[in-house]
Amino acid sequence: MHKVLVFGANGLLGSQFAKQLTNSDTYELLAPSKDLVDLLSEVQVSDYIAEHKPDFIINCSGYNLVDQCEIDEQQQEMALNLNVKAPETLAKLALKHNARFITFSTDYVFDGSKDSAYVETDEANPINYYGKTKLMAEQAVLAANPKALVIRTQWLFGPGRRDFVDAILPKLEGADPVPVVNDQIGCPTYTVDLASKVINSLLESNENGILHLVNDGSVSWYDYTLSIQETLGTNAHIVPINSDGFKRLATRPKNSILSSVKVKPMRAFKEALKEYLLK
């Protein structure tokens, strides 16, 4: 069996990789805990890879506290270490040990000013610190390992960890109005579909460089919330608001819809959302 080493296996996306690989007849999962392998220790990571000799390395770890790292220097250093240094190290080690390397990036590498969906060849121009670290990571990974695959995705939802769906559900069951931003648009993406697509179609492919991979369909956060309410049959009063009235430290791109010139999108997000909510 081929060995697949997954970092971040306890996270929202990584947990799906861990689950699906555990149930696979083709792959053997390697998912060391933080206590066993500190991703920020090049020595520990290098020793583990040299000992276990994985055929594939998937990096689902990273720093994603978008507002916290916008102005806090300590948080910025942490973001640089987790989002840039760690994947660059993994990319180098994967190349050295002839392992396939896949890591994930984000729609936040774009500024959101485009009138249509962003494709892989569009120029990146992040407008917050988090997005800058993810762009730096893309560049560092591909410079270190041209065979690597960097998958940009967005608006993840799925079992295992708190996401937008989990955060909004209690509010939809309450009596108070639910204000939701209506001028930021993206593609909700189901972690179950994303992990499955990578494992079954991309893991052993020759695809490299940057790839956009999301579920089909785009919405604002407001319309996304309406879809959740429609599926569950709740009766909350959902109020559309402009993002200017919802102050945050980090600016978000208004339009960050991802599309691909390389692969078709996965199934419609509404279909995936319904499956997730009604399970």
Residue spans of the domains in the chain: they are 2-155+188-214+257-266
Q: Which residues contact 57 (CB under 8 A, 6 or more apart)?
A: 4, 5, 7, 49, 90, 93, 94, 99, 100, 101, 102
What is the pLDDT averaged over residues 51-65?
97
CA 251 to each of CA 81, 84, 97, 158, 244: distance values in angstroms, whole numbers, following the listed order: 22, 21, 39, 25, 10
Q: How high is the pLDDT of residue 124?
A: 98
151 in Cβ contact with 263 (< 8 Å): no
DSSP state of 97: T
Distance CA(128)–CA(14), nearest Å, equals 24
Give the pairing of strands 2-7 and 27-30: parallel
Report the percent of the chain where pLDDT is more than 70: 100
CA 164 to each of CA 23, 138, 190, 234: distance values in angstroms, whole numbers, following the listed order: 27, 25, 12, 17
Both structure tokens of 70: 């916008």
Please, how many CA atoms are within 13 Å of residue 24, restricted to the half-sphere of its CB?
20
Q: How high is the pLDDT of residue 229?
A: 96
Q: How many CB atoms lie within 10 A of CB 22?
A: 12
Distance CA(60)–CA(65), nearest Å, equals 15
Q: How high is the pLDDT of residue 267?
A: 98
- Residue 5 confidence class, pLDDT cut points 50, 70, 90: very high
Residue 245 has pLDDT above 80, yes or no: no
What is the pLDDT averaged over residues 131-142?
98
**130 part of the active site:** yes
Q: How many CB atoms lie within 10 A of CB 52?
A: 13
Q: How high is the pLDDT of residue 247?
A: 81
Q: How high is the pLDDT of residue 161?
A: 74
Distance CA(75)–CA(34), nearest Å, equals 19
CATH number for the domain whose boundaries are 2-155+188-214+257-266:
3.40.50.720
What is the pLDDT averaged over residues 89-100?
98
Distance CA(31)–CA(271), nearest Å, equals 30
Distance CA(214)–CA(193), nearest Å, equals 9
Q: Is 183 exposed, middle or buried (0-12, 13-18, 19+ CB in 10 A)?
A: middle
Distance CA(137)–CA(61), nearest Å, equals 12
What is the pLDDT averaged over residues 212-241?
97
Residue 279 has pLDDT above 90, yes or no: no
Active-site option among 130, 190, 224, 276: 130
Both structure tokens of 51: 């000992």
Q: How many CB atoms lie within 10 A of CB 17?
A: 28
Both structure tokens of 275: 């499956």
Q: How high is the pLDDT of residue 162?
A: 82
Q: How high is the pLDDT of residue 183?
A: 95
| Single pTM value for the model | 0.97
